[in-house]
Chains A and B, each alone.
Chain A
Amino acid sequence: MGLRTFKGGVHPYEGKELSKEKPVKELKPQGEMVYPLSQHIGAPAKECVAVGDTVLRGQKIAEAGGFVSAPIFSSVSGTVKAIEPRRVATGDMVNSIVISNDEKFLEVGFEPCEDYTKLTSDEIIKKIQEAGIVGMGGAGFPTHVKLSPNNPEKIEYIIANCAECEPYLTSDYRSMVEEPEKLITGMKIILQLFPKAKGLLGIEDNKSDVIASMQELVSNEPRIEVVPLLTKYPQGGERQLIKACTGREINSKMLPADAGCIVDNVATINAIYTAIVEGKPVMDRIFTLTGDAVMEPRNYRICIGTSCKEILEAAGGYVREPKKVISGGPMMGFAVMDVDFPTTKTTGALLCLSEDEVSKYETTACINCGRCVEACPENLIPSRLSKFSDHGDKEQFETWYGLECIECGSCSFACPARKPLAQSIKTMKKLVLADKRKK
């Protein structure tokens, strides 16, 4: 079978070799821990501890603020020091629980599950909800909501997003190399919820070793199949992944469930495994610290809430002065002004680059070359949308399908005039959507 993919996309420098080969290293935090109450899509969590309280690792410190929300757990033992606004990766100030870490890592008692096949669907979803699992690839959508579609019997495919198409990131890769059974078991747990569904592992072919090892592992699993994908950004975009794996297309107004699909990324499925089999809530994650400015680029297993600054120091700090530091990957990550911000459930990487390509280049006039059109995975005309955005023409922006933009950044990447196309389209999208909410 040939490699599957979607139309459009770009091929940025992958940079994965920096951190790909080294095994994941455990990192025990020492400093204070910060847990923003809003680290998922939906209502912020509500704190259920007070300043001065002693907490254990694995203890719930914030309740879900609604159905579309998720609880938050302490990843260390210690004392609640403050509940106050703290700056997060996006630059926003978010109300956070600050815990001073006693470095003892005393845990609450976890209840492992001997045989998950005996659990009912409701029990599984309840456990996932109670473990605070959200989309750990970056979106942060509460997983229990995703796993409770309106018509569960219409779900035909559970797609594991193993594409990891963002350059430089290797956390999913390492986890698939080191603990593939977690992914497979996690997938089997989800499949138990949807008896008619088939499990697909969509893996880009730059991870051919993982494709081979996974194929081996699922050879006795009739309901799970490996789908080798062409290495191309944004192959791991939800809509692009669904297209590549099933041939189905969804637009901005649809959910994957409308195409009979549910997509979860590797870290999320691993978290489902940990929650159901080990009985542990979301406390840790694998984190890629990388970039040419870092002394030791590699993957770390970190306690969520650890400051990026601490991770960086533990890894030997900088080898050369960073010009740009990004929370996440280079295509969709957030540039940060300071590395002292807390890791959350969705923080998968810190990329430190010694050169800032963007400020190096000057924006020139659009020459209508159409490279953005070729790059756009959503079949849009980014140069035109950016023009409408500059002119404030909301009507034309919608007519040319501006709201379908998935903000992958491929257009800005490809533009020879170095225009910040994605940025202006994103801005306009926000304005148009805000207008719609007003109506």
Chain B
Amino acid sequence: MSDLLKVSSSPHVRAKDDTSRIMLYVILALMPTYVFGVINFGLRALLLVGVCIISCVLSEFLFEKAVGKKSTVGDLSAVVTGLLLALNLPHTLPIWQAVIGSVFAIVVVKMLFGGLGQNFMNPALGGRVFLLISFATTMTNFEFDGVAGPTPLAALKTGETVNTLDMLIGRTGGTIGETSALCILVGAIFLILVGVIDLVIPGVYIVSFAIFIILFGGHGFDTGYLVAHLCGGGLMLGAFFMATDYVTSPITPLGKVIFGICLGVLTGLFRIFGNSAEGVSYAIIFSNLLVPLIERVTVPRAFGVVKEKKVREVKANE
């Protein structure tokens, strides 16, 4: 009985996709966006992307080393965080500020809460909002073609007209990765095709946001205004790449719909009635906080289980 075979509980086969492959798909899906970002804003954008990725991976590695945990940088999630954070920064941001944002995103938002899968807030957005509050001036300094100016959304807010075609392609000012709706959509379609994300959260988000804008935007059903709002700011990037973050979105099917509606309404609220022209980052991290509550009230009915209303009525009558 010396060479017994290995036993384990069924099933004995596994699907191919693992966590690092999913992360790799996300990185690939973001490729059009950061390549366009570099074309649009120059090599400084490339530098910033590199800095963020390296600081994110390094801070995860060092943190785990410091607390004596097994290194998890191989799952590539820190690379995704760094990349997304960089895409949410203006290309003019000082390097040291980008480093601080990365360290905050990984150490405070992600690792202190238990690492991958445990954070309650999207780390990249947590980092961005932290920077936005701390370094308001540099974080809102948007240069395009060497000229500082308002982003299309800010222009829209002050009542100016914007070129929606430029916004669709991305030839405007803004953060590195948010300007080109087209590139983001290409990546999103790729992610949907490989089965990493589905359309529920982004779809409901965008539709409910559009409805909010039509109802409360003050322009009624004005297509130009609507398209500008949809392509402007971080909406597309947020909807397809940040709101769909598995960890910080509900796992229940109905929960995903409710989450999408929350995002749409909050984004609309912040953009139309808020002080700033932007609203996506805040809407997403705010909705992240609601996830546990949303999940609790949206436990799906199991297959074949009938609602037990009648039983309760009988009990009440007793």
Contacts and interface: CB of A to CB of B under 8 A. Distances in A.
Interface of A: 7, 10, 12-13, 91, 167, 239, 243, 249-252, 254, 322-326, 330-339, 353, 356-359, 361, 364-371, 373, 377-381, 383-384, 399-401, 404, 407, 409-410, 412-418, 420, 422-423, 426
B227 interface: no
A243 B303 CA distance: 10
B10 A333 contact: yes
Contact of B299 (A250, A366, A400): A400
Contacts of A250: 304
B7 interface: yes
A110 B17 CA distance: 55
Nearest to A366: B117
16 contacts: A249-B303, A323-B6, A330-B12, A330-B13, A331-B11, A335-B8, A337-B5, A338-B4, A356-B8, A357-B14, A365-B117, A367-B116, A367-B247, A368-B247, A401-B305, A416-B19
B97 interface: no
A254 B304 contact: yes
A13 B14 CA distance: 9
A410 B11 CA distance: 8
Interface residues of B, number: 40
A239 B304 contact: yes
B12 A353 contact: yes
B302 A401 contact: yes
B135 interface: no
Interface in B96-152: 115-118
A365 B1 CA distance: 36
**Most A C-beta atoms less than 10 A away, residue of B5, B13, B301:** B13
Nearest to A409: B11
A423 B9 CA distance: 6
A389 B4 CA distance: 30
Contacts of A358: 8, 12, 14
A390 B14 CA distance: 21
Contact of A368 (B12, B117, B305): B117
Given A369-B22, A371-B17, 19 more contacts: A239-B304, A249-B303, A324-B12, A326-B10, A330-B13, A334-B10, A337-B4, A338-B1, A353-B12, A356-B8, A358-B12, A361-B14, A366-B117, A368-B247, A380-B302, A407-B10, A417-B18, A422-B9, A426-B9
Nearest to B299: A400
A370 B301 CA distance: 16
A239 B304 CA distance: 8
B251 interface: yes
B94 interface: no
A230 B256 CA distance: 28
Given A91-B7, A337-B5, A381-B251, A331 B13 contact: yes
Given A323-B6, A373-B253, A416-B22, A335 B302 contact: no
B21 interface: yes
Contact of A416 (B6, B18, B72, B118): B18
